Structure 1
Amino acid sequence: MRRANIDAGRLPALSLPRFVGRDREVAVLGEALGQAPAVVLIDGAAGIGKTRLLREFLVSQGERGRRVLVGSCPELRVPYTLGAVVDAVRDGVGSVSGLGLSGLCGALRPLFPEWAADLPPAPEPLEDATAARHRLFHAFVEVLSRLDVAVLALEDVHWADEATLEFLLFLVSRRLQPVSVVVTYRREEVTPGSLLLRLSSRLPADAHLVRLALKPLGIGETAAIVSSMLADEPVSAEFAAFLHARTEGIPLAVEESVRLMHDRADLIRQGGGWARRRLDRIEVPPTIRDAMLERVGRLHPDAQAVLYAVSVLSGPADYANLNAVTGLSEDRFAAQAADALGCGLLREDGRGHWSFHHALARQAVYEAIPAQERRVLHVRAGRALEDSPLPSVAQLARHFRLAGDAEAACRYTEQAADLSIQTGDVATAALLLYNLVTTLALPVEPLARLVMKIQFHSLLPDSDPHSKIIESLQSALRTRALTLGQQALLRFHIGRVLMMAGAMEAGRHDILRAVPDLAPDSLEAARARTLLALPLGNAQPASEYLRWLGEAPAVAPSLPPHERLRLVQERAFALLMLGEVVGWAEARRIPDDTANPREAATVVVGHTNVGEAAMRWGRIDEAEARLAKAQTLAERHELLSYLDSIASSRAHLDWFTGAWTGLAERAARLIDDEDRVRLKDRCEAALVAGLLQAAAGDRAEAVERLRFAAQDDQQRIEATAALAQLSLRDGDIEQALRLTEEPAEISVGSGIWPRAVEIAPVRVAALVAAGRLGDAADLVTAFERALGGTDAPAPQASLELCRGMLAEADGRLADAARLFAQAADAWQALPRPYDALLARERHARCLLAADRTEGGLLILSEVSRALADLGAHNDAERVAQTLNERGWDTRVARGRGRPGYGNRLSPRELEVARLLVGGRTNRQIAEALGVSTQTVASQLKSAMRKLSATSRTVLALRVVELGLVGEHGQPPAGDE
């Protein structure tokens, strides 16, 4: 060590490295920002020189008299709302006095309390989160405009909060774009669904977009950096090549390696230049972090304490706060502060605030602090900031959480979360609360309160938020000396979160244990019974679920409005899932709109859930309307995390209604986005993808998708029904029976008919194929008894299909044909065209079996064509094969327009003929079909020509004789 000090004395003092190797990038930046408004995206790995490039260039902009604001997104687990933008404005402006700001800018008061004397009065608070956020954005734009800001530059935007990214999108999508925007980021740290990726797609036509991807330096440029640090003396080619190989040309790694070798005295002059001391065989550390830490370890302990304090405070810190956090006396702090600042890791800005040159350095130093010492430093930081004139509650929440001070952490975290919600930043609020409850042991009551406030939709699914919350709750439950009420409260929340995570039975178990000891009239008691009434998981009789709903206490008027609304939407969903008509009346209590940001998420979930239930009931128009309301509200309040749930439900609805164009691609995007889309929504998308692939004939891929979908309880029965249907088509009756047994018991056996729509026909088909006609009849009877006369079009159509299967198995072909045709009509009326075509195929096959060949083949031909047009190519080929075997020519010329039908009636002509046989006039037919009387007359004329009918009466007789229509206009009844 002593020799190192002696050698170090012979070495020149190190200089800051010169800015080299970026001439092209500087030129590109200059050209881009000369064509304002511009958006410049600078991408590069850690240490590649993004910050240096930006700051060197922006200095030149300032010299030209252009105002430039620069902010940096800190590497915090919980960023604070619009933090980088606030810091950029605060650091670059100082004061807004004399700007003549409008009243709109009073919205900036919560973010700039130090400007209270210069800002207009605070405007009236807005309950609409989106409106509040956009008002804030408009206020920022006004300030930028009044200050004549030319460039807003934000660094490390991969760490930005959602509100900052939304503000950037707001800026670049405006006409005219008010300022040029420059951002730096690391592509490898940007999640697939990040709003950052949308910056380039939201630009107006007159904006100028430039992308810069920084590359490592070459050997010559590496040598130039080293030389600039060593009094501009030359560097040997061998040394430059050695250093380039070890650092891969990353500028920060080159700088840190030279500084470390200088500290070690591992440099010598040789041959007129600098070289590395060979005999010592000292290696450059493998990472930048290791090099930094070795250098820090060579400093005086008091200088290290200064670096520790800067890393704990994280952002730019003033002299007084740094002194307070170190715990050093003023004399000791002053003695070592200069050395700490001069070590090359720190920088000082124009306000005298210190921070690290690079986030990697801050992170390396912070992680090197022993855990106990780190907690002490956070305590000091929290107390120092509390005493400052304008403390940041987000920073106070972070420091006291990391210090382990539960009481202070709870207080400041709730304040910070409320502030985030006021500005519409729900995601940051959720993350603040989540981080607190998963990292700090909290008392029961605040823990339960905070867990209730977390909006899980706003947390990224790849972090598996449910399991960590459950761990925290279970840990609290293991605490001794809890009252029965406290234990029940924790168990209720454990069960609730488990159910949200999809573990329905485990969640029900915990809630059941909690119910007896929950306060009778409490919110938890009401929600517990509503959750127990959800018919998900294992089979329970419908009466059991209804009993829980009946026991739920009345909603207390004293409850906050958003909690009352949550109970309404949960109760409505439970009733509709149970097949109770009264659920629709409850669903109508969910408002179409709300200006309250706390209620917005609940309303969005409510409409999405009711839309899902409407699909299962067969109320397609209701489903369409509910999902549209949910999407409109989610977009207006920018509840982006809810849009994926709506999109997966929308995809499911489009499968049913036959809107298959582009559907596979939409489903695939949801399935593949593991970082942003919840497992539940990915499962629903996988169900849609699997159904599409099964219809198209891609069996292996369909099975994989359907099995994935079956992980989610809400999609499990439908996915299993589809898998069983594939087994039946393969002739594997035993597998179909095994697959359908439990789902049939859960739905039909329990009397919960909304879940039976898809599984009941497949179970009946499997039982019939196995020769178990008695069991099949019992299942149909149970389905019929559960459904009764309920106005539920989809289950009624499903029941009609099951009856047709029984009639066909009994050899009653006329009844079977009639029932299948009625089922087809019922499916088509919803509309669910794919199910209608499959029922129509069964109808036609009954006609063929009854020797009504011409009518059967005519229907099969129409079905084959319609299936192909829909995209169900596997089914179309199956029907075409039957037609070919019967000698029917399936080769039909197709042009670029609508499909031709030759001498066969089109589906609309057939529908008109059925209504004609039923005794309707042209006007009545037009009203029934929603078309003009002229259209009806044209279609009748075409049908008469095709069937060589000389009058309407002859046409009616012909379609009855062909088995296309029954004698009274009903669906055909075979050869009755």
Structure 2
Amino acid sequence: MGGGARKDGGRLPALSAPQFVGRDGELDTLGSALERTPAVVLIDGEAGIGKTRLLREFLASQAERGRRSLVGACLELRVPYTLGAVVDAVRDGVDNVVGLRLSGLGGALRPLFPEWADDLPPAPEALEDATAARHRLFRAFVEVLDRLDVALLALEDVHWADEATLEFLQFLVSRRPQPVSLVLTFRRDEVPSASLLLRLASRLPSDAHLVRLTPGPLDVAETASFVSSMLDGGYVSNEFAAFLHARTEGVPLAVEESLRLMHDRADLIRQDGGWARRRLDRIEVPPTIRDAMLERVQRLHPDSRTVLYAAAVLSGPADFVTLRAVTGLPEERFAAQAAEAFGNGLLREARPGQWSFRHSLACDAVYDAISTGERRAMHLRAGRTLERWPLPPVAQLARHFRLAGVSEAACRYTDEAADLCVQSGDMATSALLLHSLVATVPLPAGILVRLVTKIQFQALSGSDPYSAIIEALRSALTGQALAPMGQASVRFQVGRVLMVAGEIEAGRREILTALPDLSPGSPETARARVLLALPLGNARPVSEHLRWLQEAPPLTQSMASLDRLRLSVERAFALLMLGEEAGWAAAREIPDDVLDPREASIVAIGHTNVGEEATRWGRYDEASARLTKARTLAERHQLLDYLDSIASSRAHLDWFTGAWSGLAERTARLVDDDNGVRLKDRCEAALVAGLLQAAAGDREVAKERLRFAGGDDQQRIEAAAALAQVCLRDGDVDEALRLTDQLAEIVVGGGLWSRAVEFAPARAAALVAAGRLGPAADVVNALEGALGDRDAAAPQASLILCRAILAEADGRIADAATLFFRAAAAWEALPRPYDALLAQESSARCLLVEGRDEAGLSLLSAVAQALSELGAHNDADRIGRFLAGRGGGVVAVARGRGRPGYGNQLSPRELEVVRLLANGLTNRQIADVLVVSAQTIASQVKSAMRKMDVSSRTALAVRVVESGLVGELNQRTSSDE
């Protein structure tokens, strides 16, 4: 601490721990909630807001009343620990289990509590079903809680919980009666979008008692009381309190750390009987808590800093012996300076004799301040120390040796930790462990290939889990002396990961280069040929892709079961993409359920892929069933990162079948989440969002969505077709031709009819609009030749539609009316109501050309009504305007379902955006106010500019102010408030 500033001979008092301030309401709510039948209390708040303090104050009051509570904390995911928080809570709350008289279930706890092995019942018989084994383990934990008469289980930082822990919490809250009350603290902004935590509250039984608490920042008066409590109760000036509040936003941790820094700097002064700060107008509080903490750390003795560095490297509670070992300090130097490190307020005694940082922000700040060399040395010392524990924590060892750069030990412990995670069904943590190792530690090529093969990329969150792996593989190729077969093995993995990442042609080139040197008959060779068979990337005839598939070595019993399953699933997918009926027989071989989590991940992906292809074939019942199976598997095995892929495929199916209610909101969530949802799934969701926007009449936003969707290889054909249709409606024939020119050879020339359902009508219509009837007929003939008599309802309906387009262009109006009507019936049978209605509209227009006005106008009126009910208001309005022009008046159309269309009028949301824009807010600020993404706001601003016929934000603001729209909306907003 710095020396004191003097006033009347007074010296700065030592700072005290802050008193509990400003949380009486939350404390009362917590107490009332937990007085009732077992409750679930969710405490959500930003870092440093005081969630832990609130919980500990409450637990102290419970202890005084003799009620037993167990407390655990989840560690940040960089140190994965399956069920770790629950294990730690039980271990800290139980001295021994001798007197608990556990049933045979207690034997399931032996792997988690080896220190109790002599006192636990014998280990039960192993179960092949991983789900059943996990359920038995959960029941054993519940029995322990019951025998201990635990009233409350509190887990902190649940945003970092592993999937097994979240599944255990779901297990607890679903039991009746609920065995124990739960209090969970977390930061909502750090909860992954697919986390089970988000569904925990929404899926509680109807009789469950749920309470949500969100502690807010301190106000100025509470800030003054908080600071006063640290200054021995001294008076704090209002000016000083307001100054601190303004620069810390009332976040308790920020207030405390800033005050401690000012104390260290001797930057406090007694003034007029109270505490204030020197030169409020000249010396600023550091802009972040991180800066404040680092400045405090730098003021300590170097050995004291080393103790803090060791605590940051360990990142969790550690005893003196472990801390000293990690510091590398001699015992006498450690003892001399440890007291300063423990007494500076950054560390707390988490458990008797074990110390950790009071807050993760402090831990992260200190960790980042350690030099690279010292950090590696400390991780190495930590690994060597933890290896000597009676029960070595393999996940922590994997992390320490990885960050120390010790590849052999890092591989050994990562493999062991990843396998343990898989055994408990935690595929996400297993994938993260393997990915972290491969991405950061140079490994021998053979080990690298084995580990990359084990990574389930679908289980990894984030939009790009591929680049670091590709870089590691390329480094092995260029930096290691490898035999041809070894080189081929690494190169094949480069190609495979590139293709998974969407870089199809680059991946294909790598696989083709590797193939001659791969071991004949190996799973790698078989997978290489299956991947080359996928009709992705640039144009190739379907026959070429089929040849690769036919040349793939057969599946044999000598292959590992996991390899056989993966290859059979991928082969079924390839056959269906290529339009082969044999693909359905292969798809029927995919099991509905499996026990092993690794098999479950393969099967879930398999059902999702088959569901996508069933949608393209027009087998919508099959598609729905497959996606349901995939979702059931993903939820049962906690493959939560798979759910976005399933959701985007389901959204695509719902678009076709007319299940549009809530579809815009579902797709927007996927599209706007550019951190948690991978690009492929965002593109598919953007495709559906764009189609919805086009149907609603917002063409500019629709075009943006569809262009984005075209960034994924599997969506680019349908996205180009949809964009071309929008351009044709706008009269831009040249752009429609350009959009379809490049892809025509892939879809039509190559015979890839499974991708032609949406493309062929768009291409034919564009050619017809350009007066090129011959090439249009060639498109139809090519589709007919490739499709043949296959049982594929959607392509067959598309073929009828193409014939109708040609007949109308040839002047065969009666034939065209009949063909459009047949196409409508074919679409309706699927069902695809939107396409059926558009085909009926075309049929009605042909009837009018023939002079059959009564039939044509009646049909158009019915179609307009149905389109509006579906939510396609732009099309309904277009027909209404046409009917009005024919003297029939504007047809009244219902607006009961779907989203309203506003034509060239600003929608309510666009009005709200423009009002905020006119008040001077940026897109990001508007997004924060309306709780949407900045990308969404940008789209709405562009749409408003188009509708108001202006070319800049400033002009838009002026135009709406002059029109009185903003004043009217401001007045309405004020009256609502």
Q: Structure 2 length as normaliser, TM-score?
A: 0.85
Amino acid in structure 1 at the alignment position of 2:331: E
Greater alpha carbon shift after TM alignment, 295-304 vs 546-555 = 295-304
* 8 Å CA contact retained: 1:417, 1:430: yes
2:722 matched residue in structure 1? 722
1:763 matched residue in structure 2? 763
1:935-974 deviation digits (Å, cap 9, x = unpaired): xxxxxxxxxxxxxxxxxxxxxxxxxxxxxxxxxxxxxxxx
The reply to whether residue 416 of structure 1 matches residue 387 of structure 2 is no
Matches within 5 A, 1:206-217: 206-217=207-218
2:629 matched residue in structure 1? 629
Shift of 1:479: 0.8
1:68-100 deviation digits (Å, cap 9, x = unpaired): 111222335243222222211211223222212
* 8 Å CA contact retained: 2:869, 2:894: no
* 8 Å CA contact retained: 1:175, 1:204: no
Shift of 1:543: 1.4
1:262-285 deviation digits (Å, cap 9, x = unpaired): 545555666666665679987654
Amino acid in structure 2 at the alignment position of 1:722: A
Shift of 1:65: 0.9
Distance 1:394 1:543 in 2: 48
Amino acid in structure 2 at the alignment position of 1:120: P
Shift of 1:295: 3.2
* 8 Å CA contact retained: 2:884, 2:891: no
* 8 Å CA contact retained: 1:132, 1:424: no
Shift of 1:171: 2.6
1:476 matched residue in structure 2? 476
Shift of 1:331: 3.2
1:351-394 deviation digits (Å, cap 9, x = unpaired): 31122222222222222222111111111111111111111111
- For the residue of structure 2 that corresponds to 1:478, the secondary structure is helix
1:87 matched residue in structure 2? 88
2:111 matched residue in structure 1? 110
Amino acid in structure 2 at the alignment position of 1:576: L
Distance 1:334 1:581, change over 3 A: same
Query: What is the root-mean-square deviation in Å for CA atoms of aligned residues?
Result: 3.2
1:510 matched residue in structure 2? 510
1:244-278 deviation digits (Å, cap 9, x = unpaired): 55555443344444444554555566666666567
* 8 Å CA contact retained: 2:428, 2:460: yes
Greater alpha carbon shift after TM alignment, 178-187 vs 710-719 = 178-187
Shift of 1:814: 4.3
Distance 2:31 2:624 in 1: 51
Distance 2:656 2:280 in 1: 76
1:436 matched residue in structure 2? 437
Distance 1:720 1:236, change over 3 A: closer
Shift of 1:885: 5.6
* 8 Å CA contact retained: 1:127, 1:597: no
* 8 Å CA contact retained: 2:74, 2:85: yes
Amino acid in structure 2 at the alignment position of 1:780: V
Distance 1:42 1:626, change over 3 A: closer
Distance 1:117 1:581, change over 3 A: same
2:172 matched residue in structure 1? 171
Greater alpha carbon shift after TM alignment, 126-135 vs 553-562 = 126-135
Amino acid in structure 2 at the alignment position of 1:357: R
Distance 1:864 1:264 in 2: 75
Shift of 1:746: 0.8
2:314 matched residue in structure 1? 313
- For the residue of structure 2 that corresponds to 1:465, the secondary structure is coil
Greater alpha carbon shift after TM alignment, 405-414 vs 10-19 = 10-19
Distance 2:835 2:459 in 1: 37
Shift of 1:395: 0.8
Distance 1:225 1:530, change over 3 A: same
Distance 1:301 1:770 in 2: 78
Greater alpha carbon shift after TM alignment, 792-801 vs 375-384 = 792-801
Distance 1:242 1:590, change over 3 A: closer
- For the residue of structure 1 that corresponds to 2:154, the secondary structure is strand
- For the residue of structure 1 that corresponds to 2:482, the secondary structure is coil
Distance 1:688 1:862, change over 3 A: same
Greater alpha carbon shift after TM alignment, 35-44 vs 605-614 = 35-44
* 8 Å CA contact retained: 1:530, 1:570: yes
Greater alpha carbon shift after TM alignment, 680-689 vs 715-724 = 680-689
Shift of 1:23: 3.2
Amino acid in structure 2 at the alignment position of 1:788: G
Which of the two has higher C-alpha Rg?
A: 1
1:849-874 deviation digits (Å, cap 9, x = unpaired): 44455554554454444434433333
Greater alpha carbon shift after TM alignment, 835-844 vs 448-457 = 835-844
2:641 matched residue in structure 1? 641
The count of aligned residue pairs is 896
Distance 1:465 1:194 in 2: 18
The reply to whether residue 41 of structure 1 matches residue 47 of structure 2 is no
* 8 Å CA contact retained: 2:5, 2:269: no
Distance 1:363 1:469 in 2: 26
Distance 1:101 1:613 in 2: 52
Matches within 5 A, 1:877-916: 877-880=877-880
Amino acid in structure 1 at the alignment position of 2:343: G
Shift of 1:228: 4.3
Distance 1:268 1:789 in 2: 90
- For the residue of structure 1 that corresponds to 2:659, the secondary structure is coil
1:741-760 deviation digits (Å, cap 9, x = unpaired): 22221111001111112111
1:909 matched residue in structure 2? none
- For the residue of structure 2 that corresponds to 1:757, the secondary structure is helix
1:30 matched residue in structure 2? 31
Shift of 1:496: 1.5
Distance 1:787 1:376, change over 3 A: same
Distance 1:481 1:53, change over 3 A: same
Amino acid in structure 1 at the alignment position of 2:437: L
1:535 matched residue in structure 2? 535
Greater alpha carbon shift after TM alignment, 304-313 vs 540-549 = 304-313
Shift of 1:168: 2.8
Distance 1:546 1:9 in 2: 89
Distance 1:275 1:197, change over 3 A: same
Shift of 1:561: 1.6
Distance 2:894 2:336 in 1: 90
Shift of 1:13: 4.7
Matches within 5 A, 1:919-930: none
Distance 1:801 1:364, change over 3 A: closer
Greater alpha carbon shift after TM alignment, 66-75 vs 230-239 = 230-239
* 8 Å CA contact retained: 2:753, 2:787: yes
Distance 2:441 2:14 in 1: 46
Shift of 1:217: 3.8
1:686-731 deviation digits (Å, cap 9, x = unpaired): 2222223323333223222222222222121112112212222233
1:875-914 deviation digits (Å, cap 9, x = unpaired): 34444555556666885899999xxxxxxxxxxxxxxxxx
1:136 matched residue in structure 2? 137
1:935 matched residue in structure 2? none
* 8 Å CA contact retained: 2:104, 2:122: yes
Shift of 1:603: 1.2
* 8 Å CA contact retained: 1:840, 1:863: yes
1:365 matched residue in structure 2? 366
Shift of 1:845: 3.8
Shift of 1:32: 2.4
Distance 2:556 2:889 in 1: 70
1:51 matched residue in structure 2? 52
2:161 matched residue in structure 1? 160
Matches within 5 A, 1:372-387: 372-387=373-388
Distance 1:764 1:251 in 2: 66
* 8 Å CA contact retained: 1:768, 1:776: yes
Greater alpha carbon shift after TM alignment, 628-637 vs 282-291 = 282-291
2:20 matched residue in structure 1? 19
Gaps of 5+ in 1: 898-976
Distance 1:872 1:83 in 2: 51
* 8 Å CA contact retained: 2:876, 2:893: no
2:454 matched residue in structure 1? 453
* 8 Å CA contact retained: 1:487, 1:514: yes
* 8 Å CA contact retained: 2:194, 2:644: no
Shift of 1:128: 4.4
* 8 Å CA contact retained: 1:101, 1:120: yes
Amino acid in structure 2 at the alignment position of 1:182: V
Matches within 5 A, 1:810-959: 810-880=810-880
Identity of aligned residues (%): 72
The reply to whether residue 548 of structure 1 matches residue 570 of structure 2 is no
- For the residue of structure 2 that corresponds to 1:519, the secondary structure is coil
2:594 matched residue in structure 1? 594
- For the residue of structure 2 that corresponds to 1:45, the secondary structure is coil
Distance 1:471 1:720 in 2: 32
Distance 2:873 2:258 in 1: 64
2:71 matched residue in structure 1? 70
Greater alpha carbon shift after TM alignment, 124-133 vs 359-368 = 124-133
Distance 1:450 1:665 in 2: 38
Distance 1:479 1:893, change over 3 A: closer
1:807 matched residue in structure 2? 807
